[in-house]
Amino acid sequence: MKFNYNTLDVTLQKETRSLTISLNRPESKNAINIEMLFELESLFGWLTGHLEVNAVVLTGNGDTFCSGFDQDELKIMSEEKLKKYIARFQKVVMGMLYLPQTVICDLKDGAQGMGVELALGADIRVSRSTSEIHFNALNRGWVPCVGGIGLLSIWVGQAAARAWTMGSAKVGASEQRQKAFTTQTYSTGESAIDSLLKNISTQAPVARIQTKRSFLESILPELQRTFEYESIFSFASMKTEDWKKAEDQPFTTARELARELT
């Protein structure tokens, strides 16, 4: 079967009945643009109806998984359009959690910004031993809004999530493993992925699907609340349009925002 996407490379592995999705914008370190978002949504929709696929590997072409949202697109977006964009991105991440397949995210040498939030939708995350995850949402004028607060807190605990996000941390492979953000690191090739796919291919399909759904049900109330409150605070902060600014431009101060709202 052949998949035809502009921003994604998609391949099927018959032996393990798995699908590899590679974000394919290496010139921008696989930054997420509108087209990629629509293509991911379309592909995940296809996967929901193909239970014969056991697992999905989500990764990026080149050395980086994903550098976040495309900054050039953001600069020309209206606030209203951005809100719709965020809502669609939330559906994509939530959709990963609902997929009947086991989703593995290979972070390779790292991710940042919204790329980190995309990875949060995976069931299993692995990375290279040289990986570095940069929690730079606040440096970009963002309030994390796609699980970057609530879902991250579920996965690694609130203390680590708070320290990483509020400190704009660059988290190396060792700390990622220590806090269980990733479960495996590798130094050469894709042996970590190959081993996981082989293990998954030997599992009873119904038991595997039901187990994933059981894990989801255990966090679902908190997850639904997470996306709701993250949207509220993120949308409120968009009034500043700090997310449009270049790195050398000053951000809006809290007093300036207060004057604008009164």
Fold of 8-201: 2-enoyl-CoA Hydratase; Chain A, domain 1 (3.90.226)
- H helices present in 49-167, as ranges: 71-75, 79-98, 114-119, 150-156, 158-166
Tokens of 7: 């921003």
Cβ pair 182, 125 in contact under 8 A: yes
Tokens of 81: 């359009």
Q: Give pLDDT, residue 255.
A: 80
pLDDT tens by residue, the chain, 262 residues: 678 899 999 999 999 999 999 999 999 999 999 999 999 999 999 999 999 999 999 999 999 999 999 988 888 888 888 888 889 999 999 999 999 999 999 999 999 999 999 999 999 999 999 999 999 999 988 888 899 999 999 999 999 999 999 999 999 999 999 999 999 999 865 567 999 999 999 999 999 999 999 999 998 888 888 888 888 888 888 888 887 777 778 888 878 767 765 5
Q: Whole-model pTM?
A: 0.93
Strands 170-172 and 132-134: antiparallel
> Domain boundaries in the chain?
8-201
Tokens of 174: 């060792």
How does pLDDT run across 101-120, given as a tens digit for each residue? 999 999 999 999 999 999 99
How does pLDDT run across 151-197, given as a tens digit for each residue? 999 999 999 999 999 999 999 999 999 999 999 999 865 567 999 99
For the CA atoms of the chain, what is the radius of gyration? 18
Tokens of 89: 């991105």
Place of tokens 């953000």: 181
Residue among 124, 108, 130 at smallest CA distance from 197: 124
Nearest-angstrom CA–CA distance, 121 and 111: 14
